[in-house]
Structure 1
Amino acid sequence: MKYKNILLVNDINDDAETFVLVLNAINHEIRSSVEGSALEALKKLQDSKLSPDIIFLDFNMPHLDGSGFLKLLRDIEALKRIPVVLYSRNSGHMLQEALTKFKGVQYLKKHTDFRKLFKSLQKIIIPEKV
């Protein structure tokens, strides 16, 4: 398994619950953390209260959007190498700009269908099995 410690930054509880259920279905050994605020997630990352292998980031967040979070994250030496996947329902202009600006960042469409989300997450978390 490529990633065992996963952080989801998402302010919508239903989306977060579904995401965690899917992670548990992929592999029950995955440790997931959910933060409802990008600002709070960044603070906990800086304080070493979170140490994820990968971050799934809702792009449309209040107070600090995906681009703002990525900029701040990439400015912190100890955190800038953590892989980030932008997690959003749409792939609009702002999201496309962020994907271009922040090299190495991936995109995952939010699926409401459990099976589609399962397959998409599995490709990222356990790429050798897909």
Structure 2
Amino acid sequence: MKYRNILLVDDDTDDAEIFVTALQTINNKIKYSVENNALEALKKLQHSKLSPDMIFLDYHMPYLDGTEFLKLLRSVKELKKIPVVLYSGHSGTLLKEAVDKFKKVQFLKKHENFRKLTELLNDIITLETATKK
């Protein structure tokens, strides 16, 4: 499994806890970091305090929304190749536009069903691994 270091940027602590539990269910050797503030996460990424293989990003965040985060992330040479998955409870037009506009961006809808979330996360990690080979 290529993606062993995951960053989740999500201001909802309950959603973050469920996400982390799902990751650990898939593979307990996956390392993860959780940031609840997109602006702070971006600063840490820019200063190499975080070095994820993949970022899961809640689209609706205070201080810096998903589109703004992606614009800034993609403007930094060392960070622009990190795959990002928009992770949101909403699936509106803005999310579709963001996925279409930015390279290496996917979308994952937040699920209340833990089993389904685990399956989808596993599929994303597995598909990304297969694509990268």
- Settle same-fold status: TM greater than 0.5: yes
List 4+ stretches of structure 1 deviating above 4 A: none
1:104 deviation in Å? 2.3
Does residue 1:43 correspond to 2:78, yes or no? no
Percent identity of equivalent pairs: 64
What is the one-letter code of the residue matched to 2:107? Y
| Counterpart for residue 5 of structure 1 | 5
1:120 deviation in Å? 0.3
Does residue 1:116 correspond to 2:119, yes or no? no
Q: Deviations over 1:25-66 (max 9, x none)?
A: 000000010000000000000110100000000000011000
What is the one-letter code of the residue matched to 2:94? M
Give TM-score, length-normalised by structure 2.
Answer: 0.94
| Counterpart for residue 27 of structure 2 | 27
- 1:1-130 aligned within 5 A: 1-127=1-127
Give TM-score, length-normalised by structure 1.
Answer: 0.96
1:74 deviation in Å? 0.2
Does the CA contact (< 8 Å) of 2:111 and 2:117 recur in 1?
yes
Q: Deviations over 1:43-97 (max 9, x none)?
A: 0001101000000000000110000000000000010000000001111011111
3-12 or 119-128: which moved more?
A: 119-128
**CA–CA distance in structure 1, aligned partners of residues 92 and 26 of structure 2:** 29
Structure 2 unaligned spans of 5+:
none
1:125 deviation in Å? 1.3
**CA–CA distance in structure 1, aligned partners of residues 97 and 91 of structure 2:** 10
Q: How many corresponding residue pairs?
A: 129
What is the one-letter code of the residue matched to 1:11? D
What is the one-letter code of the residue matched to 1:87? Y
Q: Deviations over 1:83-123 (max 9, x none)?
A: 00000111101111111111221000101111000000000
What is the one-letter code of the residue matched to 1:122? N
**CA–CA distance in structure 2, aligned partners of residues 29 and 120 of structure 1:** 18
